[in-house]
């Protein structure tokens, strides 16, 4: 865990958050960079809904990516970034507008290749789960 890495500079207010994270209404609730785990919240407005009024799946996928990615980013060194190579999402139940809680973790890091997992919850129910693979690179 390097406090000069991008994730920590954002958390400490030295850099602005990414625009995509702002759009999703992300708020970091808890993070442990030594363990590669994070809890975040998102705010899903009516603008995120599909024709039947549920949060559209693409926004849920983006929230999951923005849960797992920061779990890994919290472990990176200055000058490293980790683009997502693949993202696999399973939708369990529809999400409504409002607050969703994301829980993400680094399951395994083998050098540059990292395996991540996470879930989104609303009112204590799992809405969607995901796994991802990311590749640590130097800027």
Domains of the chain by start residue, with CATH: 6-138 (3.10.129.10)
Assess whether pLDDT exceeds 80 at residue 1: no
Higher-scoring residue by pLDDT: 1, 68: 68
Specify the pTM. 0.96
Q: What is the distance between the alpha carbons of residues 97 and 19, in angstroms, rounded to a whole number?
A: 20
Chain centre to alpha carbon of residue 81: 14
Q: What pLDDT, in 10s, does the model give residues 86-116?
A: 999 999 999 999 999 999 999 999 989 999 9
* Token pair recorded at residue 104: 């993400």
Q: Residue 137 corresponds to which tokens in the numbers above?
A: 């690179």
């Amino acid at each position: 865990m390097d406090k000069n890495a991008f994730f920590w500079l954002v958390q400490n207010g030295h850099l602005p958050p990414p625009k995509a994270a702002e759009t999703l209404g992300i708020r970091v609730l808890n993070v442990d960079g030594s363990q590669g785990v994070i809890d975040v919240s998102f705010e899903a407005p009516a603008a995120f809904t599909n024709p039947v009024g549920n949060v559209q799946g693409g926004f849920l996928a983006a929230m999951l990516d923005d849960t797992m990615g920061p779990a890994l980013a919290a472990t990176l060194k200055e000058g490293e970034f980790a683009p997502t190579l693949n993202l696999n999402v399973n939708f369990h139940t529809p999400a409504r507008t409002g607050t969703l809680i994301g829980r993400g973790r680094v399951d395994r890091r083998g050098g540059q290749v990292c395996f991540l997992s996470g879930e989104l919850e609303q009112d204590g129910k799992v809405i969607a789960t995901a796994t991802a693979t990311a590749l640590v690179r130097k800027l």
